[in-house]
Amino acid sequence: MTETPLLNISSSNQSENQSNSTVCPELYDWWNIVYYIVPKYINTVCVIGVLGNVFVLLIYSLHKGPLKIAEIYLMNLAVADLIFLICLPFWAENINNEFNWPFGSFLCRSITTSIILNMYTSIYLLVAVSVDRYLTFVHTLNHREIWTKTMTKRICLLIWFFCILLSTPAFMFRTVKYFPQWNISACALEFPTPSSESAERLVRNTVGFLLPSTAIIFLNFSTFRSLQRTARERRALRAKGCKRHKGTKATRLIFTVVLMFLFCWTPHHFFLFLDTLRHTEVIKGCFWEELINFGEQFSYMLATTNSCINPVIYVFVGKYFRQKALEVFSQFIPRGFSSRWVSLKEMSSHFNVFPVKSSLT
């Protein structure tokens, strides 16, 4: 079977799959492992991720202070992850049901669109926050005089609109189709021509990953080099209270979020690219077919992990986020515990290695 959690099977490759099935061995035992492990893993990710991202949104919403520019992007990232995670149980049940889609055509279209939307929105929000870090530390002019929070919110709306446009093919070409060779009705891609299918895959690889990830790597590498250069200058001048390092810890948080996103999503796009090569017959044979089949399954498991790992990163890496969380919780704690709560807040200031006070500027 050549199904994936995003179900890239289409009518254009149906005959190919039928012919391959007579040559390639059916690995029933391996697929039974997929049917057993993947749904349980996805449901676990869903529960942890929903709780974590709701926690992040509550902290940002209930905190009395205004949101910083980077926090606006991270809040939108939490919303995108939450939309994605809410859709995951449907895919878990789909895989548990051996890709026999039980939820009807509308949910087939809308849930798939939501999953693709998360992929696009997440990476372009990371591009935007990487640009913010780049302007702050590489171009030291105070760009916030012109880059207001209102403009940041408009950029977020523009990102959402652009990513919704990129996700429309998933809504247009998804349908529930019966495949007699497997005796299932699958939520499948129904492209009008093989070339349109290849074009959609190419867009997803390039516009959805290669171009934005290249921009992210360049921006963060430049920012990292600038921070290293500034650190050397500070050591030379022995000016440890230098104002220019305000936001260093916030930048470390962004670095960690970016690295985890690239780590979790790169394998998925790699196997998507291999599948494109297989559909265009650049690579052939049972080895590649089975490698892609199982690679897509487990690389998608890794990709889903990204949506539940960000709240963990905020807690363990984001000092300023921890301080905000403690301040929010302090609003709901009886006054008799105020002194103990102050000691907890002081303790949180020692969670990081460097003693420089910072914020998400």
Which pLDDT tens digit goes with each residue over 84-116? 999 999 999 999 998 999 999 999 999 999 989
User: Alpha carbon of 193 to those of 1, 11, 196: distances in Å?
Assistant: 22, 9, 5
**Helix, coil or strand: residue 178:** strand
Give the chain's mean pLDDT. 80
Where does 11-317 sit in CATH, by number? 1.20.1070.10
Which pLDDT tens digit goes with each residue over 135-181? 877 776 555 555 678 889 999 999 999 999 999 998 999 999 999 98
Q: DSSP assignment of 100-116, as one string?
A: ---S-HHHHHHHHHHHH
In this model, does residue 185 exceed pLDDT 70?
Answer: yes
Which pLDDT tens digit goes with each residue over 241-258? 444 445 566 677 888 888
Could you give the CA distance from residue 317 to residue 100 in angstroms, rounded to a whole number? Answer: 41
pLDDT confidence of residue 68? 85
Which pLDDT tens digit goes with each residue over 338-352? 455 445 555 544 444
Whole-model pTM?
0.81
Could you give the CA distance from residue 89 to residue 49 in angstroms, rounded to a whole number? Answer: 12
Q: What percentage of the chain has pLDDT greater than the value 70?
A: 79
